[in-house]
């Protein structure tokens, strides 16, 4: 299972711990709190470091809701641009990651509302690049049927997920595909960790039951 | 019997709550025994005794196998992304400053417009003030051109500016001739 690189836990700021002045540190060595403070003071390098640190998780969350590669890329970019221009208003009472996830989720729902499309779009699920790869591998003849089988299986799973509530679907994808911890999913969706566990349990039971039913038919 | 059932349901609740943590600790597990490797002994015992909880654990394995077909979007992000965002931010900043320039230019223009319009207003009001005084003179000169059947100028007593005396005098002069 692919794992998203973990975001550095939010601890006490190194600058407040007091050993070295913040200017002596490279952005990569700073914690989120310090980076945010610097980015609020127009430090571009600090903001770039924040992007590098959180981009995988933003892609994962956006991908869990939108699925289409092009939409995911655009929304991820939009999220960071929005975060940059709203950073001065961010008071750091919550973790930067929590704030960023909320922007991501809101942007995704907004896009879906604007487009009035369903989150899972099977026919355009493959990007042009992916489609070219599939065609090229089929032309070579090596592993061609294998790839089309996998694509079919993927579409089957996405159809199964379509029967779930949008939030439950996102939870399952974040947990089983993107490797998020229950606490992180709770952060993303602004829910209690126990609620996430219960909903995950029910969502799994629902899709497994569907598969069994289809198998019996 | 009732006690047994309520104890059992409490155990099931605990099991399901801990099951998620146990499953998170074994992401690559393919079988139930592997899934519960990191779980406490009580959890394993409960799974062996309770078929509903065992089914819940098996659901995790089945769901995982199904969802393994889906691609991870996190892998899409790469070193190309941060520079792309910074370019978008720079473009947005330029757009904002352009818009700000337009708005700062407007007040300067507005000051000039105020001066121009107040001068125009002053001139217009001066012209309007002068206009009623010149109008009757123009009307009199136009009427003076009119003549009667004999070729003498016709004098309209109503518009005569000199008053009744002048009118009577002009009539007397006419009769005398």
Domain extents in chain B = 2-69, 80-130, 146-176
**Would you state the pLDDT for residue B155?**
57
CB B82 within 8 A of CB A52: yes
**Would you state the pLDDT for residue A16?**
41
Q: What is the CATH number of the domain that holds A84?
A: 1.10.1740.10
Residues B63, A176: C-beta atoms closer than 8 Å: yes
Q: Is A206 on the interface with B (CB under 8 A)?
A: no
Closest by CA to A65, choosing from A28, A106, A27, is A106
- How do residues B57-112 score in pLDDT, each as one tens digit? 999 999 999 998 888 899 888 899 999 999 999 999 998 888 877 666 667 778 88
The pLDDT profile of chain A, 217 residues, written as one tens digit per residue, is 555 555 554 444 444 444 444 455 677 778 899 999 999 998 999 999 999 999 999 999 999 998 788 899 999 999 999 999 999 999 988 899 999 999 999 999 999 888 875 544 444 455 555 555 555 555 555 545 577 777 888 888 888 888 899 899 999 999 999 989 999 999 999 999 999 999 999 999 999 998 888 776 6
Interface test with A, best of B28, B29, B70 (most A CBs within 10 A): B70
Per CB-CB distance under 8 Å, the chain A contacts of B59 are 201, 204-205, 208
Tell whether pTM > 0.80: no
**Would you state the pLDDT for residue A40?**
94
- Residue A146 or residue B152, greater confidence: A146
HSE, CB side, 13 Å, CA atoms: give it for residue B144.
Answer: 8
Q: Cα separation of A55 and A77, whole Å? A: 9
Summary mean pLDDT of chain B: 79
Q: Cα separation of A14 and A180, whole Å? A: 26
- Touching B: A residues 100-129, CB under 8 Å: none
pLDDT band at B146 (very low <50, low <70, confident <90, very high): low
Q: Is A133 on the interface with B (CB under 8 A)?
A: no
Q: Cα separation of A14 and A71, whole Å? A: 37
- Touching A: B residues 43-62, CB under 8 Å: 56, 59-60, 62
Q: Tally the residues of chain B.
A: 177
Report the percent of chain A where pLDDT is more than 70: 74
Residues B63, A56: C-beta atoms closer than 8 Å: no
Residues A64, B28: C-beta atoms closer than 8 Å: no
Distance from the B115 Cα atom to the nearest Cα atom in chain A, whole angstroms = 39
Residues A201, B20: C-beta atoms closer than 8 Å: yes
Q: Is B100 on the interface with A (CB under 8 A)?
A: no
Distance from the B89 Cα atom to the nearest Cα atom in chain A, whole angstroms = 6
Cα B8–chain centre separation: 59
Interface test with B, best of A81, A204, A212, A215 (most B CBs within 10 A): A204
Instruction: Output the six-digit token pair for A28.
Output: 């990569």
Domain assignment present for residue A175? The answer is no
Residue with tokens 């000169």: B141
Helices B51-67 & B41-49, crossing angle to 10 degrees? 100
Q: Cα separation of A163 and A206, whole Å? A: 9
**Greatest CA separation found in chain A?**
68
Helices A44-66 & B81-144, crossing angle to 10 degrees? 90
Number of domains, chain A: 1
- How do residues A44-98 score in pLDDT, each as one tens digit? 999 999 999 999 999 999 999 987 888 999 999 999 999 999 999 999 888 999 9
- How do residues A185-194 score in pLDDT, each as one tens digit? 999 999 999 9
Q: Cα separation of A54 and B82, whole Å? A: 10
* Helical H segments across A26-180, by residue range: 32-40, 44-66, 69-86, 96-115, 128-140, 144-162, 166-172
**Would you state the pLDDT for residue A6?**
59
Interface test with A, best of B18, B34, B74 (most A CBs within 10 A): B74
Per CB-CB distance under 8 Å, the chain B contacts of A172 are 63, 67
Q: Which domain holds residue A112?
A: 1-119
Distance from the A199 Cα atom to the nearest Cα atom in chain B, whole angstroms = 11
Nearest-CB residue to B24 (from A55, A59, A181): A181
pLDDT band at B16 (very low <50, low <70, confident <90, very high): confident
Domain assignment present for residue A112? The answer is yes
Per CB-CB distance under 8 Å, the chain B contacts of A211 are 62, 66
Closest by CA to A127, choosing from A209, A174, A66, A169, is A66
Residues A3, B56: C-beta atoms closer than 8 Å: no
SS3 B68: coil
Distance from the B88 Cα atom to the nearest Cα atom in chain A, whole angstroms = 7
């Amino acid at each position: 299972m692919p794992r998203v690189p973990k975001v550095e836990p939010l601890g006490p700021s190194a600058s407040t711990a007091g050993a070295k002045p913040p200017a002596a540190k490279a952005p990569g060595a700073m914690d989120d709190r310090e980076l945010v403070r610097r980015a609020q003071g127009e430090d571009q390098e600090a903001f770039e470091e924040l992007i590098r640190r959180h981009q995988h998780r933003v892609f994962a969350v956006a991908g869990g809701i939108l699925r289409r590669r092009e939409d995911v890329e655009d929304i991820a970019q939009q999220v960071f641009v929005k975060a940059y221009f709203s950073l001065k208003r961010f008071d750091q009472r919550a973790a930067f990651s929590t704030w960023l996830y909320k922007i991501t989720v809101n942007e995704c729902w907004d896009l879906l509302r604007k487009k009035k499309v369903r989150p899972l779009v099977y026919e355009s699920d493959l990007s042009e690049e992916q489609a070219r790869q599939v065609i090229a591998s089929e032309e070579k003849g090596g592993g061609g049927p294998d790839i089309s089988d996998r694509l079919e299986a993927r579409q089957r799973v996405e159809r199964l997920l379509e029967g779930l509530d949008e939030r439950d679907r996102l939870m399952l994808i974040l947990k089983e595909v993107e490797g998020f911890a229950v606490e992180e999913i709770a952060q993303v969706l602004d829910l209690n960790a126990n609620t996430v566990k219960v909903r995950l349990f029910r969502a799994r039971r629902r899709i497994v039951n569907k598969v069994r039913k289809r198998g019996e038919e | 019997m009732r006690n047994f059932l309520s104890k059992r349901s409490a155990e099931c609740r605990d099991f399901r709550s801990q099951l998620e943590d146990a499953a998170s600790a074994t992401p690559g597990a393919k079988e139930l025994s592997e899934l519960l490797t990191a779980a406490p002994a009580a959890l394993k015992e409960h799974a062996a005794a309770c078929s509903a909880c065992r089914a819940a654990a098996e659901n995790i394995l089945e769901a995982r196998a199904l969802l393994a077909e889906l691609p991870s979007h996190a892998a899409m992000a790469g070193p190309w992304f941060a520079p792309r965002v910074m370019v978008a931010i720079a473009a947005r900043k330029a757009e904002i400053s352009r818009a700000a320039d337009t708005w700062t230019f407007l007040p300067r223009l507005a000051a000039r417009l105020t001066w121009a319009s107040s001068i125009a207003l002053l001139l217009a009001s001066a012209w309007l003030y002068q206009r009623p005084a010149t109008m009757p003179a123009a009307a009199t000169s136009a009427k003076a051109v009119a003549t009667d059947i004999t070729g003498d100028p016709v004098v309209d007593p109503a518009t005569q500016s000199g008053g009744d005396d002048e009118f009577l005098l002009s009539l007397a002069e006419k009769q005398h001739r």
